[in-house]
Structure 1
Amino acid sequence: DDSFATFFRETSSRKYVPRAIMVDLEQTVIDEVRTGTYRQLFHPEQLITGKEDAANNYARGHYSVGKDKIDMALDRIR
């Protein structure tokens, strides 16, 4: 079914994972997903975190702290 494949991807172990990428420069939020109830639902490569947050500052997140995470996120989208 093509509509199912739109939202989920089959892994080599025949598991289906959501086609979702979660990116956050501050890692504690994504760590809740990694260790929470639904941790087995998401592939670890789709959970991208940084080492520090951008302190609610777009320029800091885009141009300095998060600059290296942009390429990683775009890679996962492809």
Structure 2
Amino acid sequence: QRECISIHVGQAGAQIGNACWELYCLEHGIQPDGQMPTDKIVGGGDDSFNTFFSETRAGKHVPRAIFVDLEPTALVLVSPPS
């Protein structure tokens, strides 16, 4: 199985990356808290979303991504809700 890690650099990179990851989550049925509904079958049982997401022991799916910026306010917009 292949894994993909995306790297987003700078404010524009972080904004584009955030939009992409929101779309990936919508396409694969992953909720904002990282959970995937158990009644949701992704792509007819296809687990290709594991290429872009890593599953934690708690069952949450987190993006395989790195966001880098020297200005911290650009990355605050990308942070998950607490």
For the aligned pair, the TM-score class normalised by the smaller chain equals 0.3 to 0.5
Higher relative contact order (CA 8 A, sep 6+): 2
Question: More helix by proportion, 1 or 2?
Answer: 1
Q: Which TM-score applies when normalising by structure 2?
A: 0.38
Q: Greater CA radius of gyration, 1 or 2?
A: 1
Q: Which TM-score applies when normalising by structure 1?
A: 0.39
